[in-house]
Structures are given as structure tokens and as C-alpha cells.
Amino acid sequence: MPKSNFTKKQKLAILAEQDSGLSIADLCKKHQISPATFYKWKRSKEQEVDDKERLIKELEAQNARLKKMYADLSMNYEILEEGYAMAKKYLTPKDKKES
């Protein structure tokens, strides 16, 4: 299978030309590509967009999970700090010397 003569940037530019209203037949003639190649590029671009959206959703879910974990841990830390402060406050001087 021959390697494409078009870079990714060029492929995206050709796809953008079609979005601007140029017919696919005219576009294919202008750039000397087959309609099958054009549709293959278009499908590939749509798949990349779908992959990006899926990745964004996964990252947002992971971010929410990490924020919840942080909130739980910080609440536990505050409770322990308060307990430690109360224990320190109520230790007798005799208890302090023994520890």
C-alpha cells in the first residue's frame, strides 16, 4: 500500500474545504484523490474526535473521584487533629512526664 502524499495538516485542510461548501467531487478532482480516500479521512477524523470526547469524560470522572478522595482524607485529618489537640489538652502533668 503506497504511503500518502498528504500530511495530517493537509488532510484536515481538505476536510475543512468540504465543510466550507465545496462539493466532494470537485474537491477530489482539485486534490487528485478518490472519493473513497476522502471518506476514509473523514471517518478517521470523526473517530479521533470521538476518542478525544471519551478520554475527556474518563478524565473528568477520575478527577471527580480524586476530589472526593481528597475531601474524605482531609476530613479524617481534621478529626484526628482535633482529637489529638483534645488529648493533649487533658493530659495531666504526670502523664506528660511519662510519655
How many Å apart are CA 30 and CA 20, to the nearest integer? Answer: 15
Amino acid at 91: L
User: Can you give the pLDDT at residue 60?
Assistant: 97
pTM above threshold 0.85: no
- Least confident span in 42-46, 83-87, 90-94: 90-94
Alpha carbon 23 to chain centroid, angstroms: 34
Res. 87: pLDDT tops 60: yes
How many Å apart are CA 61 and CA 78, to the nearest integer? Answer: 26
Q: What is the mean pLDDT of the chain?
A: 89
